[in-house]
A = this chain, B = another copy of it.
């Protein structure tokens, strides 16, 4: 059994990790920590665990590194980079669900986020987008688990960018997320009556997942890509839908596009391409690690429109983190995360 530690176990992503690892046949939680709830029974923080006996511990990453084979960090940005160092990495694998190790371009990181405190570690971190970087992940000590919007956006656009079918300067990603993406921290915009029965865009042209998408798509393209990314908040709990637009370099057919997606994703278990004329809906991936992708070609405007859908807490956070763990420890990648989406829910 893989011994697992979870730091930041009482946020929504952390809790989803606890849930998935609790049911994972090859892993077990040996320690979970919470800054806000240290000392409390986990069931008092999340009553869905009232039949279990987890306790929120004080964080002591050194001690946890001695006890565990892998540590997941689910922390606000800027916090993980202070905790991780070579000494820790010699003892334990790190899978960081935060943003600190996602951007290899330090300057970009510091301009969008804050000072980075593990500059020496950063270069060895691998961006854990499993379907793209699987081979780079194996054997590494530290994995930067991708963001939720980014997972959905990059996977939706990757084949088109990689194959050079589109004008890379024309990419616009209009994304919609459920409220779990905003976390469990209290704020007026996430108060029930404020969020319910309304839709809004937020952090327009300024959301931090923008450079993350850009960096990864730039790798795929072999050139710098700048995009528009606009997140929206939807009155629902889970799910991300990314509606992506790009100008085709040359007009092509649905089947041309399909061939490209099948080239990259045809053998990917967790990526499901929808049938022609049908498109992803977040409900069909809820509670699962699946990424559903569909597309159409608009002959009138010579644009391709790609729709991607994921569960933001699962494939967009905890599920993909476990997928990374499975890769790191040589397990079948599906182990413990192969759920049929739950519906209606």
Residues A228 and B199 in contact in the complex (CB < 8 Å), given A235-B234, A237-B345 = no
- Interface pair A305/B228, CB less than 8 Å apart: yes
Q: Is A115 an interface residue (CB 8 A)?
A: no
Within 8 Å of chain B (Cβ to Cβ): is A184?
Answer: yes
Number of interface residues of A (CB under 8 A): 82
Q: Is A31 in contact with chain B by the CB < 8 A criterion?
A: no
- A282 sits at the interface (CB 8 A): yes
When the two chains form their complex, are residues A205 and B285 in contact, meaning their CB atoms are under 8 A apart? Answer: no
A255 at the interface (CB under 8 A from B): no
Q: Per-residue 0/1 for A278-312: is the Cβ within 8 Å of any B Cβ (1 yes, 0 no)?
A: 11111111111010100010101101010100000
Q: How far is the CA of A179 from the CA of B236 in the complex (A)?
A: 14
Which residues does chain B contribute within 8 Å of A53, judged by CB atoms? Answer: none
New A-B pairs, 4, CB < 8 Å, besides A200-B279, A200-B281: A47-B278, A176-B232, A184-B191, A186-B191
List 5 A-B residue pairs with CB atoms under 8 Å apart, sorted by A's residue number: A48-B288, A174-B243, A186-B188, A197-B238, A230-B243
A104 interfacial by beta-carbon distance below 8 Å = no
Beyond A179-B196, A305-B230, A345-B237, whether A187 also contacts B186 by CB under 8 A is yes
